[in-house]
């Protein structure tokens, strides 16, 4: 689905960005990228999404229409403040025939009845739901999520993680999730990639064997978390 | 004492006050101070504390306005002044949109054009008058041009800074959808810079009113500004005050129209005014 070969993007004189990243995603796979801040994981998403074009290496996708290859959801909702929820969700499609689909999506993310609200009247969680719906409406081949829930409170975060699980189930969206929340990565992803260093490199990979939906307090996930922490050098002997 | 008189003079508003909460009605609260001052002024004039040939009573001013309106001569003056302001406003705004959009969007235009416009902006308004009269004659063209110059700068500056201040994060959303330059402008940059543009329109309009006075004071045979000069030359302060009053009224009305448009189109803004 997605093949990233020897991609590097370095700035600030080699002190930031990432170097020599190889990565491949199967169709329908959910892959998490974990790393401490400054390891270039957000930059990786910006490069993949086409927002940052100054990179070296090769990015291949199987998408027929390159315009629809990537959908991106940011850390902040980034809704247009002058459009109401409905207009924000259909923002960027331009086509009228998506109406039914947009309506379905709005139901999925639980925003039914809020069509006419402006972003200023939404809570952080609701705004992020609208952003999820917006990024899914164009039916991207690969959904890129850049720390999508890091600004939300713990409970809203869990709700939206479950919403994402529903969406993965329903749409089989290939997803690359950048996060610094280990629990989130282990709860959602098939595979977790760990990045370290400045500039960042892929340090290791952990496959999460458990089937979704998983239990949040699962002892298997707790063990994996220990492994991840070790990889990231956070465990004390 | 003043408040007692007020209650006696305006029993009808007193009644209104009980039906619509007086403290919440902006009109009532906003008129308290001017009404009080006018009453004091009227009493001072009647009591002979101020010289009537310097400051005539409000009733005298009002009578003057009514007489002129009845004789029909007032309407011509009001009409021509309004015409000059609107024509100048449209012209200035049009030019500001063209140049402001160009400097806002295109870096090279900004670097070429902006320094010169900033320098021109520093020229005091009245300094243009002789030149415009020389170039364009003392007819309408020179006056409208002067108003347009006044309107141009605030609209231009606000539009440019509005466009340049558009959130990069929102533009990135457009890039994710592979918007063309035109789509970016239409769907993101234009609506995002609208608040700043409307602020520019309002301050442009108020400058337009200021410049029309300048234009009419210095060379006109018609208009509210001319009426002021005429009042000065014929030692008729009521005429001058009446003109000032009319300027205030029309300035306020036109600003109110723009303000309504502003509140209506910007109801999505998350600010103090829209807080419910």
**Mean pLDDT value across residues B157-169:** 93
User: Could you please report the per-residue DSSP string of A183-225?
Assistant: HHHHHH-SEEEEEETTTBEEEEEEE--SPSSPPTT-HHHHHHH
Judge whether B179 and B170 are in contact, CB under 8 Å.
no
Residue B223, domain member (yes or no): yes
- What's the confidence (pLDDT) of residue A68? 74
Q: Which structural domain, as residue segments, surrounds residue B142?
A: 69-265
CA distances from B130 to A141, B123, B143, B218, B223 (A): 67, 13, 11, 9, 19
Q: ipTM, 2 decimals?
A: 0.88
Q: Which structural domain, as residue segments, surrounds residue A55?
A: 1-26+45-62
Query: Is there a single domain that holds both residue A58 and residue A171?
Result: no
- The length of chain A in residues reads 237
Tell me the pLDDT band of B2, cut-offs 50, 70 and 90: very low
**Mean pLDDT value across residues B89-111:** 92
Chain centroid to Cα A36, Å, comes to 16
Q: What is the CATH number of the domain that holds A78?
A: 3.40.50.300
Say if the Cβ atoms of A82 and B175 lie within 8 Å: no
- What's the confidence (pLDDT) of residue B153? 94
Which of B169, B178, B267 minimises the CB distance to A78? B169
Question: Nearest residue of A to residue B168 by CA position?
Answer: A78
Measured between CB atoms, does B24 come within 8 Å of chain A? no
Which range in A139-148, B49-58, B77-86 is most confidently predicted, on average pLDDT? B77-86
Tell me the pLDDT band of B10, cut-offs 50, 70 and 90: very low
Residue A153, domain member (yes or no): yes
Measured between CB atoms, does A210 come within 8 Å of chain B? no
Q: What is the CATH number of the domain that holds B226?
A: 1.10.3720.10
Query: Is there a single domain that holds both residue A9 and residue A115?
Result: no
Residue A138, domain member (yes or no): yes
Query: Is there a single domain that holds both residue A88 and residue A11?
Result: no
Tell me the pLDDT band of B21, cut-offs 50, 70 and 90: low
Residue-wise pLDDT tens digits, B255-271: 999 999 999 999 888 87
Which of B177, B267, B269 minimises the CB distance to A92? B177
Measured between CB atoms, does B190 come within 8 Å of chain A? no
Question: Smallest CA–CA separation between A121 and chain B, in Å?
Answer: 8
Question: Nearest residue of A to residue B180 by CA position?
Answer: A92
Question: Smallest CA–CA separation between B44 and chain A, in Å?
Answer: 52
Measured between CB atoms, does B192 come within 8 Å of chain A? yes
Q: How many domains does chain B have?
A: 1
């Amino acid at each position: 689905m997605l093949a990233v070969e020897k991609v590097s993007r370095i700035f600030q004189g080699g002190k930031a960005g990432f170097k020599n990243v190889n990565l491949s995603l199967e169709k329908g796979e959910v892959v998490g990228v974990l790393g401490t801040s400054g390891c270039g994981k957000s930059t990786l998403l910006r490069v993949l999404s086409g927002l940052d074009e100054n990179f070296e290496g090769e990015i291949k996708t199987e998408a027929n229409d390159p315009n629809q290859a990537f959908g991106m959801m940011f850390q902040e909702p980034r809704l247009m403040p002058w459009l109401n929820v409905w207009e924000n969700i259909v923002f960027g499609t331009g086509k009228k025939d998506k109406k039914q689909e947009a309506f379905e999506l709005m139901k999925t993310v639980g925003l039914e009845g809020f069509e006419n609200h402006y972003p200023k009247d939404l809570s952080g969680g609701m705004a992020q739901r609208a952003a999820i719906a917006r990024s899914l409406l164009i039916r991207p081949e690969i959904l890129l999520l850049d720390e999508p829930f890091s600004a939300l409170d713990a409970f809203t975060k869990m709700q939206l993680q479950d919403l994402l699980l529903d969406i993965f189930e329903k749409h089989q969206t290939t997803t690359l999730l950048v996060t610094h929340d280990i629990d989130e990565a282990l709860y959602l992803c098939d595979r977790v990639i760990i990045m370290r260093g400045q500039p960042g490199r892929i340090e290791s990979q952990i496959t999460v064997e458990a089937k979704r939906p998983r239990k949040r307090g699962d002892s298997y996930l707790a063990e994996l978390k220990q492994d991840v922490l070790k990889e990231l050098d956070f465990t004390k002997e | 004492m003043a408040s007692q008189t007020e209650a006696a003079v305006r029993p009808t508003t007193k009644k209104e006050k009980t039906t619509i909460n007086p403290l919440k009605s902006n009109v009532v609260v906003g008129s308290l101070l001017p009404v009080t001052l006018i009453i004091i002024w009227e009493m001072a004039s009647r009591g002979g504390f101020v010289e009537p040939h310097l400051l005539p009573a409000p009733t005298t001013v009002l009578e003057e306005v009514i007489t002129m309106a009845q004789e029909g001569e007032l309407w011509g003056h009001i009409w021509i002044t309004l015409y000059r302001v609107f024509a100048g406003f449209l012209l200035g705004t049009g030019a500001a949109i063209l140049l402001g959009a160009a400097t806002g969007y295109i870096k090279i235009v900004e670097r070429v054009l902006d320094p010169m416009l900033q320098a021109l902006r520093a020229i005091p308004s009245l300094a243009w008058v002789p030149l415009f009269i020389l170039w364009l004659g003392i007819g309408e063209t020179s006056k409208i041009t002067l108003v347009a110059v006044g309107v141009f700068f605030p609209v231009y500056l606000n539009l440019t800074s509005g466009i340049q201040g558009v959130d990069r994060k929102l533009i990135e959303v457009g890039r994710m959808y592979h918007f063309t330059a035109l789509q970016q402008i239409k769907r993101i940059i234009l609506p995002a810079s609208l608040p700043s543009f409307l602020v520019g329109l309002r301050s442009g309009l108020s400058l337009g009113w200021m410049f029309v006075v300048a234009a009419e004071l210095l060379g006109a045979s018609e208009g509210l500004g001319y009426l002021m000069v005429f009042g000065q030359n014929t030692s008729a302060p009521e005429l001058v005050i009446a003109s000032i009053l009319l300027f205030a009224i029309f300035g306020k009305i036109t600003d109110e129209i723009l303000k309504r448009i502003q509140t209506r189109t910007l109801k999505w803004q998350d600010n103090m005014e829209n807080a419910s």
